[in-house]
């Protein structure tokens, strides 16, 4: 059985060789094989148990990812950070030379459903965020202000503009109150794409999924560990914000009035 396996392995390795007739083919060949060796090396280092148990083929018969490489990409998605299903499906036909970092935040302005993509708990917070206030006053104009007042019963004139609010003071005050109100600054940072987290601050301005300008990172152990760490932080921020949104929606009038009280307090304190 060992001889058969060795012969099979030898044939797979030989299939990796091909005649090079021009510079582009040479470059493509080297990049593809570098990508293969990078992924296989990372697989063995990051998932040693799965690597030992795996029976997937190391190499492919064409220029696409091998079964072993695809297995590694799926493990990254399952255990470290998200890789969109559509990207994983595409990896069967096109190589992932970089790690795709697709947006996972509250990118409501570029969603095809627009403002309707947001839960009501997020919508009621819009006047408190820089981008939300700008959208209501500039993009939607009079309709935005009317929509907000008709929907939630508050006039924008009665809500202090974010430009007049001391956000540093807001953060200090928020730390002194109980959750989930204490997570108000996090929720506003999510709306404004200003959390400082690579997964949460991207904005995608393109209708075609494949033409979106995703941020990417190289396939290195350092970047994988960085993205995994950032994703862990991102999920924590999203969970906290979700608790706030759930709380707001449980009694919008009463609970948003508490948020406004904290918001307006920043105008009177220094």
One digit per residue, pLDDT tens: the chain, 270 residues? 334 445 555 555 545 555 656 656 656 676 888 999 999 999 999 999 999 999 999 988 778 999 999 999 999 999 999 999 999 999 999 999 999 999 999 988 765 567 888 999 999 999 999 999 999 998 877 889 999 999 999 999 999 999 999 999 999 999 999 999 999 999 999 999 999 999 999 876 544 444 456 799 999 999 999 999 999 999 999 999 999 999 999 999 999 999 999 999 988 776
Direct distance between the N- and C-terminal alpha carbons of the chain, in angstroms, rounded to an integer: 78
Contact 156, 137 (CB under 8 A): yes
- Residue 43's nearest CA partner among 69, 81, 82 is 69
**DSSP string for residues in 36-92:** HHHHHHHHHHH-HHHHHH--S-SS-SSSS--HHHHHHHHHHHHHTS---HHHHHHTT
The number of residues in the chain equals 270
């Amino acid at each position: 059985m060992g001889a058969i396996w060795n012969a099979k392995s030898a044939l797979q390795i030989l299939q990796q060789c091909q005649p090079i007739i021009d510079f582009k083919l040479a470059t493509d060949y080297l990049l593809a094989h570098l990508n293969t060796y990078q992924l296989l090396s990372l697989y063995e280092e990051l998932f040693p148990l799965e690597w030992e148990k795996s029976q997937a083929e190391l190499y492919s018969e064409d220029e696409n990812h091998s079964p072993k490489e695809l297995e590694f990409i799926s493990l990254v998605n399952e255990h470290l950070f998200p890789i969109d299903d559509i990207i994983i499906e595409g990896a069967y036909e096109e190589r992932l030379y970089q790690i795709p970092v697709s947006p996972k935040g509250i990118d409501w302005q570029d969603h095809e459903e627009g403002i309707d993509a947001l839960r009501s708990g997020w919508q009621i917070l819009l006047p408190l965020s820089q981008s939300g206030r700008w959208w209501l006053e500039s993009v939607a104009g009079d309709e935005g202000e009317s929509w907000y007042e008709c929907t939630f019963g508050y006039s924008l004139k009665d809500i202090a503009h974010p430009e007049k609010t001391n956000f540093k003071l807001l953060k200090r005050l928020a730390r002194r109150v109980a959750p989930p109100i204490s997570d108000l600054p996090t929720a506003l940072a999510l709306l404004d794409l200003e959390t400082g987290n690579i997964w949460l601050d991207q904005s995608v301005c393109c209708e075609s999924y494949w033409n979106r300008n995703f941020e990417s990172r190289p396939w290195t152990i350092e970047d994988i560990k960085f993205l995994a760490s950032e994703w862990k932080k991102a999920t924590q921020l999203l969970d906290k914000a979700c608790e706030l949104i759930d709380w707001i929606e449980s009694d919008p009038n009463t609970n948003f009035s508490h948020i406004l009280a904290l918001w307006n307090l920043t105008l009177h304190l220094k």
